[in-house]
Amino acid sequence: MRRVATLLMVLGALWQSPFEAVSKELYVAMDGDDNQAGTQDAPLATLQKAAQIMRDQGPGTIWIGPGEYYLPNGVVLESQHSGTAEEPLVIRGTKPHTSRLVGGQAVTDFRPITPEAAKPLISEEAKLQVVVADLAAQGFPKLADMPLQHRAHQCEELIVDDQPMQSARWPNEGFTEFTEVIDSGASMPIHWVRREVYRPGSFRFPNDRAKLWDFERGIWLHGFWTYDWSDEAIKAASYDAESGELRLAAKHAYGVGSPYNKNDRRRFYALHVFEELDQPGEYYLDRQSQRLYFWPPGDLSASEVRLTLCTSPIIRATEVSHLVIRDLVIENGRQSGVELQDCQHTRIERCLVRNFGRNGISLSGHYVVANDCEVTQTASCGISVTGGDRKMLTPGGCAVVDCHVHHVGRLDWMGGRGVSIHGCGNRMANNLIHHCPTGGVSYGGNEHLLELNEVRDVCLLYSDVGVFYTGRDWASRGNIVRWNYIHDVANNAGHGSSGIYLDDCDSGDTVIGNIVCGGVGRGVLLGGGRDNTICGNIFVDLPVGIHVDARGKKAITLDQPGSWNLLAKCEQVGYLSPLWKERYPRLAEVMRHEPRLPMGNTIHSNLLVGCRQPFALSSDVKPEWLDRQDNVEWPTTKLPAIANSPDGSLDLTQLSASWHKVRGFEPIPIEKIGLLKD
């Protein structure tokens, strides 16, 4: 009997799948095979197979070897993939930034454009330089149709040597402008800036350039159609060469043209225009004939050419706990790079995320963290975070720490911020953010901590914009913006830029110990809100140090739908509940004390150096509404951090010599600002 039992054990071992006795480590390699055991000597071929094994048999570490792993549908992780605090599921590269998870496929077999196909090209040089690839012949799926209107269109894009190329446009740099609106398609403003839009509008094209374009192919125009804080790409429906009238194919949210100034100049450029393929790095995707036309910026034989195809996040985890993603390059997709949705105790760290048609990294849940990552060349936001429960004031504990986020918002300028944080009780710290079309950071919700970040070279295209931006919520309280260094920011015509923008009656925030200098229009814009604290900040060489207005008096109608709904937002989170009344007693009393007025704001111990207008109070703000004390105004010559600088720039290391002269000023930990040094 014992011999029979032994024989059955041996037979069972022979019948056993090689994965059923899985190690806590699996290996994936370019020369692997999914029928192998997944050991270091017999690796798997795909991350998908490794994830399946870990789901079925318990968490461990998936090691991904060097090379490029094409994931046409991404990798999906679900709750069954969860690890534990003691044994998390870890997905990591064997050597940092050599293992690449990609959503793009290689394009090969380029041939010179034929003389017949090249005839419409305006540039004679382009007719000699443009090459074409037949995508259908190379097995590519049918190209997606471009939406009538979009910001981030999430269609295929061309990536060459890790850089997104430019879809053929005119002009090649900057904008052209129109001034003559033929049909706004909209009413006059019915509340603040909002209009009722009846139909797509039209305008007179500013010159004869459009006569050279074939509108049957499809032409899109990307610009600021009404206000300098709302961009959109919209397809042209028709163009009358004789009259110059160009009519859009879809309605913009605010109509066409400024409702306040009929001579206002509106900026735009034309996009996806075959005839304008006229310089190296431009391309045109013919979505009907499945052909790619391209003027290479260099030797194609020495370049990696990829077309983004994956329509899902490269890694999507839903309701997963105790997951770590580390040391990977994640790139070249039509959607987002990494999406961690409703997760807990999950981290992405030391990853390079680039070249996506939407966001780089999207985090939501509790204790979900992006740490020491680089995110670049996203069509929209760099890193977005939503965590915690506002109604119960439960902190999310999510964080973005020590990340370098830059050159984002390629297509969606409005959404193109480095970091966006919402919910309750999340943190961003020690990040470097730069080159964003709009501001660097947006936040909303409660009790977030935004500290020790360096933000520069933002607000590049937008006007009426904040480097740190929040607004339009009385209940969005308890947030702290402190110890951030904001500098070298664009200040475009119109309403310009602000270092910290508390927009449209935002209330209950603390702005402390920030340094704002270099190009910014205003240090802080307090837009009609209540109960904000602005203390111990340093504003250097700005047109305006601190701006305060009372816009709520004319913009808020508490019982009118669409008028910011400030009271409704308070009711939605239960602002009169015992929990909220205890945490925010002043909010509970707001309706009894002139809620439309900017009262209860504290502005203490700020150092304003060389500001042409240290304080700008609008005519409808009474000084007695504000608690202003111990603020100090100096010329720049009195600030050692500038006076002793050889090139006249701001030397942060010398600021401490000045702030002790400001009563109540709390020291700023200058040495801790920015990316962590290790």
Which residue, 256, 286, 306, sits at the end of a domain?
A: 306
pLDDT band at 7 (very low <50, low <70, confident <90, very high): very low
Residues 494 and 643 in one domain: yes
Query: Rounded to an integer, what distance in angstroms lies between the CA atom of residue 310 and that of residue 325?
Result: 19
Query: Rounded to an integer, what distance in angstroms lies between the CA atom of residue 139 and that of residue 512?
Result: 57
Residue 122 confidence (pLDDT) above 60:
yes
Nearest in space to 515 (alpha carbons), one of 344, 378, 408, 665: 665
pLDDT given for residue 18 in this prediction:
37
Give the end-to-end CA distance of the chain in Å, rounded to a whole number.
64
Residues 143 and 243 in one domain: no
Phi and psi, residue 641, nearest 5°:
-65, -20
Contact call for residues 285 and 143 (beta carbons, < 8 A) = yes
- Is residue 315 domain-resident? no
Cis ω for the linkage preceding 147 (within 30 of 0): no
Query: Rounded to an integer, what distance in angstroms lies between the CA atom of residue 628 and that of residue 648?
Result: 30
Residues 658 and 612 in one domain: yes
Averaged pLDDT for residues 189-197 = 86
Residue 11 confidence (pLDDT) above 50:
no
Residues 147 and 280 in one domain: yes
Residues 489 and 600 in one domain: yes
pLDDT given for residue 223 in this prediction:
97
pLDDT in tens, 56-96: 999 999 999 999 999 999 999 999 999 999 999 999 999 99
Contact call for residues 97 and 352 (beta carbons, < 8 A) = yes
- Is residue 379 domain-resident? no
189 versus 267: the higher-pLDDT residue is 267
Query: Rounded to an integer, what distance in angstroms lies between the CA atom of residue 280 and that of residue 190?
Result: 47
- Is residue 164 domain-resident? yes
- Is residue 208 domain-resident? yes
Percent of the chain scored above 90 by pLDDT?
A: 89
pLDDT in tens, 519-543: 999 999 999 999 999 999 999 999 9
pLDDT given for residue 114 in this prediction:
98
For the ranges 144-153, 209-218, 589-598, the lowest mean pLDDT is seen at 589-598
pLDDT band at 565 (very low <50, low <70, confident <90, very high): confident
Strand partners, 401: 371, 429
pLDDT in tens, 407-431: 999 999 999 999 999 999 999 999 9
Residues 516 and 655 in one domain: yes
Which residue, 224, 255, 271, sits at the end of a domain?
A: 271
Residues 192 and 150 in one domain: no
C-alpha angle 411-340-434 in degrees, rounded to nearest 5:
40
pLDDT given for residue 560 in this prediction:
58
Which tokens is 300 given?
A: 């194609």
pLDDT given for residue 22 in this prediction:
45
- When divided into structural domains, the chain yields a total of 3
Q: What secondary structure letter does DSSP report for 121?
A: -
Residue-number span of the structural domain to which 116 is assigned: 105-168+275-306
pLDDT in tens, 472-494: 999 999 999 999 999 999 999 99
Q: Can you say whether the dihedral through the CA atoms of 145, 150, 156, 159 is positive or negative?
A: positive
- Is residue 597 domain-resident? yes
Q: What secondary structure letter does DSSP report for 159?
A: E
Averaged pLDDT for residues 348-370 = 98
Which tokens is 438 given?
A: 């709009």
- Is residue 28 domain-resident? no
Which residue, 271, 290, 325, sits at the end of a domain?
A: 271
- Is residue 328 domain-resident? no
- Whole-structure pTM value: 0.95
Query: Rounded to an integer, what distance in angstroms lies between the CA atom of residue 659 and that of residue 622?
Result: 29
Nearest in space to 246 (alpha carbons), one of 198, 203, 199, 183: 203
pLDDT given for residue 562 in this prediction:
56
pLDDT band at 590 (very low <50, low <70, confident <90, very high): confident
Q: What secondary structure letter does DSSP report for 136?
A: T
Residues 535 and 634 in one domain: yes
Residues 120 and 213 in one domain: no
- Is residue 121 domain-resident? yes
- To the nearest whole number, what is the mean pLDDT of the chain? 94
589 Cβ neighbours under 8 A, 6+ residues apart: none
Residues 492 and 600 in one domain: yes
378 versus 589: the higher-pLDDT residue is 378
pLDDT in tens, 543-560: 999 999 999 887 665 555
pLDDT given for residue 557 in this prediction:
58
Residues 651 and 562 in one domain: yes
Residues 572 and 615 in one domain: yes
pLDDT given for residue 563 in this prediction:
65
Residue 396 confidence (pLDDT) above 80:
yes
Nearest in space to 540 (alpha carbons), one of 439, 443, 639: 639
pLDDT given for residue 20 in this prediction:
40
